[in-house]
Structure 1
Amino acid sequence: MELHDFSTKKISQQTEHTRKRYNVSSVVYDLMEWPVEWIWYNKWRKLLWKKVEGPNVLEIGIGTGKNISYYPKNIQVNGIDLSPKMLERAKTVLSNYPNERVRLQVMDVQNLDFPDNYFDEVVATFVFCSVPDPILGLKEALRVTKPGGKHHLLEHMRSRNPLFSSMMVKLDGPIHYLSGVHIARQTVENVEAAGWKIEQVKDLTMGGIFKRIKATKSH
């Protein structure tokens, strides 16, 4: 396991603010998410990673390493995160899996330090709700994915229900101010706008707030 830091690359003021926010919250991040992790997220993560074949995989926003225990065998993972402090937590988790081929890197998804057409598959779980420019990040993910490669996402987004949707739009600003997370993004549309071909969208909860998305890079 290796840990590389690309945090000296120039980033926007908004992105730097996001990095600082997650550095501060890294110590209590798992505790804050424990209820939804226990009720929903862990089973969704497990099902998603069963569909990942690799062999060369990019995990965007690896965070504290919640997906590490679900990695399929015989894949190589580059796990990136904007926050060095979050990656320190992931490094601790990774120490319990000495046989995993994982490289941890401090990196901004909006400015990836990988060549074009490099990865077979890309995974992001609950990440693009907090990326300052999600379409730019999704375009960068597309750039570094091989033609025919897949992008697997778990995300929460704006509800299909008109009443809930309206409420989420109104609350998005205050919630983002407090937590750094957007609750009213339209991530399926953002994935398409970035140039990915949507293969599957599966609603995981009523109203379509939580979804699993599979997209492909065209040949």
Structure 2
Amino acid sequence: MTITFFLIRHAAHDNVGGYLAGRSSGVRLGEAGLAQAARLGARMTRECFDAIYASPRERTQETAFAIASASGGMAVEITEALDEVDFGTWSGNSFETLNSDPLWRQWNTIRSLTRTPGGENMLDVQRRVLSLMEELAVRHDEGAIVLVSHADVIKTAVSHVLGMPIDAWPRFDISPASITTVVSGTWGAKLLTLNEVIS
């Protein structure tokens, strides 16, 4: 049994890098993000895959629908296991505001031992995404699956595959509309591509 996972970060919303969108509702792709998602969809037509799963956030669904549309109108299944980190009360705050919060600074130093206010720590996130991947590997047996999610969620999966601690997250990037490819089987898992950027 061998299965390929295309781990895709959503395209950029208009204020990416300006504030922590988190699980805030109504964060959608703007004109530039929609164009980026369309280019990503065109890129994914070079791949064969059996299913598309996406986080419940609007920006991930819009990205997933662009891929589905380019690939013949495949259905998109929404799953909470791919949802953004639950940042609790931090969601919606500007990074300028967050940088004055000692807990935010601690979160960015040692995420494995820090819980967001009213939310998750990164080990929680890693458990849910790996559980989903294990479940999908059994459900789909052979083939390939697209998972459209968020940067930190994808980083937890990559860290696991590479045998890196969860706190190694700053050592690599997961850019908007990027593709990271993982192959998994009874023999284990390996990383084929990391952060292929669709400009």
Which TM-score bucket, shorter chain as reference? 0.3 to 0.5
Say which structure is richer in strand.
Answer: 1
Q: TM-score if structure 2 supplies the norm length?
A: 0.40
